[in-house]
Structure 1
Amino acid sequence: MVNIDFNLLIALEALLSERSVTGAARRLGLSVSAMSRTLTRLREATGDRLLLQAGRTLVLTPYAEQLNQQVPALSRDIQAVLRPTDRQCDPATLERSFTIRAGEGFVDLAGAALMKRIHNAAPRVQLNFVPKVDWDAQPLRDGAIDLEIGTVKTTAPEIRTRLLFRDRYIGVCRKGHPVLDAHAMDAATYAAADHVAASRPTPVDAALAALGLKRKIMMTVAGYTHAMQVARHSDLLAIIPHSCLGNAFIPDHAAANGLQSFELPVQTPAFNVSAIWHPRLDRDPAHVWLRNEILALCQTGYP
């Protein structure tokens, strides 16, 4: 394919249609001499003379007559493929399944609201949530997942992101826990208490380590919602994202489940929760629509 110039196809269509070097040149905005040179190139490429002099006009060879039945459609198809897309997404007729990797906190507290929003606009769209076990970008690259929701911890340089909302870490315990009786829980008291920890690392332990302290972790669980359930039925303390306390769709989620929140005795930075995807889906109309729907949902639920 290295020797094929698709511009020749456009010129060939003009020559076959106009049956005139001058007419084809005018049609394509070229000089007559340039079009004459293009005809020479076409003759060399096809091995056929294509147009022959017949008195004061040009006529098509038999091979050119055959091409005249094929070239217009080929020319339109090639130009359509190589032209910038203007495809639009019609959610009402969209029939597609999206695989989304997200933490259990987002699925538990926002999954139903997202599905309702999606279903109202696009009743044939399915959402398949898969567990967020790590931050590996390969599933995004190979198409195993269409979108990820969470913190950006990949070094893959091509990955695209869009901020959904800001979050921060907070402590939770069961209602009536003795630790809540302290007017001001200091870092040493906090670290000495019994803890349940989600398997995902947080900057809280780094902040405690800077003070020479370490949490007394009695149990490790898979995720934040598991830690919330353990804390609810025990005297263990848990660290969770503030968003797990509740949102506009499920307000007071933690309180309704017998939990009380408290500010941590160490300062940790807030963090971004983002939509994350591979650039091959940047301009896919359906994917753009999905990203916009998720962003709108988060702007409503996590102001």
Structure 2
Amino acid sequence: MHIENADLNLLKALDVLLEERHVSRAAARFHLSQSAMSRTLTRLRETFGDELLVRTTRGYELTPRARAIRQELEFILPRLRAMVRGGDFDPATSTDAIRVNCTDYAISILGPGLLPHVFERAPNLSLTIEPLSPRTYDEIEHGRVDLALSPVQPPAGLRWQPLFEEDYVGVVAADHPLTADRLTLDEIREFPRVSVVVLPQEQMVIDRRLAELGVAQRSGLRVPYFEAAFTALPGTRLIALVPRRLVEARRADHSVRLVEAPTELAAPFPYGMVWHPRLNSDPAHVWVRSKVGEVAAGLRPGTP
């Protein structure tokens, strides 16, 4: 099949069909009659040489080829819109789709300032936020993820913009036997610890620093989210080492209390955003990155 024989106008209809997995619902969304959408599906099957949607006892299911095409469409359609639109970008009319990978920390710290502003200005923008994973930077490389928020600088070839600096503090239950205002390395060795493991098989910044200082991980609890670490503390002797701004955002939570980290762990670390150079000049992505940067610049410095 040569591209000269393909009708690129069918791609949007294909995207809706693969999302709805139902001819009638896709027809309603695309403002076509059911018979017209059925004819469109027939043309798409001829174009791609694949059934795409197969009827089963549970309704329509995507073929393996259709699942692969759907992933590619998430990347291709916004780029086609940007190419046709050129350099002009109006957030009020934008229907771009942007996929972000980050932790619950980034959502907690940046989300309250970012999301209301973005969706007030760009109500039809599609923003998908998914967890960071070991594949995030590969996904950015292949165009399946647009932006990542992370303290881990990317490999060469991807762009990195520092947003702010952060440091770690200790958090314990309000009735924890520790009473001093600052932890020591010996106390971290003595008490079990909650470890937030965002990326399996990769050390978090704090774990790497502790390993460099010769502090082994004592048996404790491993969780995938910072919010889960806070939930685990009340009623236990666990210690958590978490980013300072996350604790400051929970001032009203009297079930836990902040304890300064050991002086050996006091050095701040950068938090930034990562994207592929192909998106450097994409108007929608430039706009979203600028909003992330504005919110980050407006954050108060962490206060010991």
What's the TM-score bracket when you normalise by the shorter of the two chains? Answer: 0.5 to 0.7
Match for residue 219 of structure 2 among 217, 220, 225:
217
Q: Following the alignment from structure 2 to structure 1, what is the Cα–Cα distance between the partners of residues 175 and 229?
A: 17
Secondary structure of the corresponding residue to residue 256 of structure 1: coil
Aligned-pair distance for 1:255?
Answer: 4.4
Counterpart CA distance in 2 for 1:183 and 1:107 is 28
C-alpha contact 1:195 1:236 (8 A) present in aligned 2? yes
Is the CA contact (8 Å cut-off) linking 1:193 and 1:215 kept in structure 2?
no
The answer for the alignment partner of 1:235 in structure 2 is 237
Measured after TM superposition, the shift of residue 206 of structure 1 is 4.7
Q: Which residue of 2 aligns with 1:171?
A: 170
Check if 1:298 corresponds to 2:296: yes
Residue pair 1:196, 1:220 contacting (<8 A) in 2 also: yes
Q: Kindly state the Cα deviation for residue 185 of structure 1 after the two structures are TM-superposed.
A: 4.0
Written as runs of structure 1 = structure 2, the 5 A alignment for 1:79-94 is 87-94=87-94
Amino acid in the other structure paired with 2:289: R
CA distance in 2, matches of 1:266, 1:113: 31
Aligned to 1:259: 256
- 2:131 match: 131
Question: Secondary structure at 2:87's aligned position in 1?
Answer: coil
Which of 185, 197, 203 lines up with 1:199 in the alignment? 197
Among residues 273, 276, 287, which one is paired with 2:274 in the alignment? 276
- Report which of the two structures shows the higher radius of gyration computed on alpha carbons: 1
2:96 corresponds to 1:99: no
Separation in 2, partners of 1:175, 1:283: 49
Deviation string for 1:174-212 (max 9, x for gaps)?
Answer: 112111x23654321231112111124345445545554
In structure 2, C-alpha distance between the alignment counterparts of 1:129 and 1:272, rounded to whole Å: 21
Report the CA distance shift for 1:111/1:209 in structure 2 as closer, same or farther (over 3 A). Answer: closer
Read off the aligned partner of 2:98 and give its amino acid letter.
F
Instruction: Say which SS state the counterpart of residue 99 (structure 2) adopts.
Output: strand
**Residue 113 of structure 2: aligned partner:** 113
Query: Could you tell me which amino acid in structure 2 is paired with residue 279 of structure 1?
Result: P
Report how far residue 215 of structure 1 moved: 3.7
On the 8 A contact 1:191/1:213 being kept in 2, the answer is yes
Specify the code of the residue in structure 2 equivalent to 1:117: H
Counterpart of 1:139 in 2: which secondary structure? helix
Find the aligned partners of 1:132 and 1:168 in 2 and give their Cα distance: 20
Q: Given the two structures, how large is their TM-score scaled by the length of structure 1?
A: 0.63
Asked whether the 8 Å contact 2:99–2:145 carries over to 1, the reply is yes
Distance 1:208 1:280 in 2: 37
Size of the aligned set, in residue pairs, is 212
Alignment check: 8 A CA contact 1:207 1:266 kept: no
Give the root-mean-square deviation of aligned CA atoms. Answer: 2.3
Whole-Å separation in 1 of the counterparts to 2:151 and 2:273 = 9
Query: What is the SS of the residue equivalent to 2:165?
Result: strand
> In structure 2, how many angstroms separate the alpha carbons of the residues matched to 1:228 and 1:120?
31
Letter in 2 for 1:224: F
Q: Which amino acid aligns with 2:163?
A: L
Distance, in Å, in 1 between the alignment partners of 2:144 and 2:295 is 24
Instruction: List per-residue Cα deviations over 1:225-268 (Å, max 9, x = no partner).
Output: 2112112352211111112124xxxxx41542622111112423
- Taking structure 2 as the reference length, what is the TM-score of the superposition? 0.63
Q: Give the aligned partner of residue 70 of structure 2.
A: none
Q: 1:207, 1:87 → 2: CA distance?
A: 44
Task: Identify the residue that residue 287 of structure 1 maps to in structure 2.
Answer: 285
